[in-house]
């Protein structure tokens, strides 16, 4: 399917990939089709024999692929925690998406994380990205995996340097943005301040060459710390509105679904790679067409000026999908 991210574990047969994630991130990987297989959007089925796939696996119109982008400390990772909890995920601690010990120790996101959360009859594939400038390459690597982006901005600080960087990448890839003014619950934040920040961000969009479609972005006001988002300015929403429902609904209505061509040969653009001692490489990326199942032979290809070069051949040994904070 177009738009999904497939997370696959596969064994190598020759010509090992480079261990550098960035060296393979921009390279498309073309793999053979399998008519009876099913590639889930954003990540694949847990196993080829899984017969209880969600309806979204067969209906791309029920999928939304979204990245959360922001300047460091503007509340992006806290927002991800609240979205996960809103959709029923078990959150054992704060910063649930940060799995690297240094991330929890320093309180910053270093590597991008991918997960899927259910909302109503839809499935939202979310990518949490780093906000620190030192890890800006992570943002550039994953924005090609999604159709939309939630731009989180501290309402008290307004857009800062990294805000411009991550927004420029999102606009360059044609993503549909949603603006979330965070931390509006703080005493120093007023409605006039939020209006001024909105104007600054609109000017930033225009200066970065946003299209008319991208300039027509929804604005929400939120307190990720308290776990709510509103379509109108408020510091104290009513009890039945103290949740993230309005943001989740905005994702559904504003971000377009991925397109799909199940009949075409399987293709996946790898954006992230990890290693497992027992299973080998774990590849996460965007599936642009076709389908795959456990046991299929796969070929890694690299585009060069002189043409396409085959860099590895292997076999898929497992397909997995992360939902919330858990693997099935």
β-partners of residue 119 are: 122
| Helix or strand run (H / E) with residue 118 | strand 113-119
Check pLDDT > 80 for residue 161: yes
Residue 38 tokens, joined: 């099913």
In a domain, 241, yes or no: yes
Nearest Cα neighbor of 146 from 119, 164, 166, 165 is 166
Distances from the Cα of 321 to the Cαs of 41, 79, 142, 163, in angstroms? Answer: 10, 22, 17, 30
Task: Using the structure block, give the residue that is written with the tokens 């922001």.
Answer: 70
Look at the chain and report how many structural domains it folds into: 2
Final residue of a structural domain among 254, 272, 303 = 254
- pLDDT for 129 equals 80
Check pLDDT > 70 for residue 305: yes
Give the whole-angstrom CA distance, residue 257 versus residue 160: 30
Give the whole-angstrom CA distance, residue 128 versus residue 201: 21
- pLDDT for 32 equals 33
123 and 33 inside one domain: no
Structural domain boundaries, residue 180: 61-254
Final residue of a structural domain among 254, 283, 306 = 254
Task: For the chain, give the percent of residues with pLDDT over 90.
Answer: 34
194 and 284 inside one domain: no
Could you count the other beta carbons within 10 Å of the beta carbon of residue 189? 22
> By the 8 A CB rule, do 244 and 180 touch?
no
Summarize pLDDT for 201-254 with one digit per residue, the tens.
999 999 999 999 999 999 999 999 999 999 999 999 999 999 999 999 999 999
SS3 280: strand
The pTM assigned to this predicted structure is: 0.74
Task: For the chain, give the percent of residues with pLDDT over 70.
Answer: 70
In a domain, 102, yes or no: yes
- pLDDT for 21 equals 31
In a domain, 326, yes or no: no
- pLDDT for 8 equals 39
31 and 98 inside one domain: no
Final residue of a structural domain among 200, 221, 254 = 254
269 and 245 inside one domain: no
């Amino acid at each position: 399917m177009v738009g999904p991210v497939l997370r696959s574990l596969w064994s190598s047969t020759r010509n090992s990939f480079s261990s550098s994630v960035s060296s393979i991130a921009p390279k498309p990987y073309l793999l053979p089709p399998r008519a009876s297989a099913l590639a889930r959007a954003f990540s694949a089925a847990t196993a080829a024999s899984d017969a209880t796939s969600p309806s979204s696996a067969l209906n791309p119109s029920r999928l939304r692929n979204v990245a959360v982008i922001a300047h460091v400390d503007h509340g992006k990772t806290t927002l991800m925690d609240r979205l996960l909890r809103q959709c029923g995920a078990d959150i054992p601690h704060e910063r649930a998406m940060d799995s690297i010990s240094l991330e929890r120790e320093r309180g910053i996101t270093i590597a991008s994380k991918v997960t899927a959360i259910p909302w109503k009859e839809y499935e939202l594939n979310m990518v949490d990205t780093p906000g620190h400038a030192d890890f800006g390459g992570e943002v550039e690597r994953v924005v090609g995996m999604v159709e939309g982006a939630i731009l989180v901005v501290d309402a008290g600080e307004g857009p800062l340097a990294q805000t411009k960087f991550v927004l420029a990448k999102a606009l360059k890839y044609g993503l549909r943005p949603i603006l979330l003014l965070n931390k509006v619950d703080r005493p120093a934040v007023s409605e006039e301040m939020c209006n001024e920040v909105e104007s600054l961000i609109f000017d930033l969009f225009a200066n970065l060459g946003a299209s008319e479609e991208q300039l027509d972005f929804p604005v929400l006001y939120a307190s990720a710390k308290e776990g709510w988002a509103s379509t109108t300015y408020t510091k104290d929403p009513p009890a039945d509105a103290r949740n993230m429902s309005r943001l989740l609904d905005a994702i559904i209505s504003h971000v377009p679904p991925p397109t799909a061509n199940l009949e075409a040969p399987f293709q996946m653009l790898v954006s992230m790679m990890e290693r497992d001692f027992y299973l080998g490489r774990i590849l996460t990326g965007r599936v642009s067409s076709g389908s795959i199942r456990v046991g299929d032979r796969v070929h890694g290809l690299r585009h060069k000026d002189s043409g396409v070069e085959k860099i590895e051949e292997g076999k898929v040994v497992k397909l997995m999908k992360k939902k919330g904070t858990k693997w099935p």
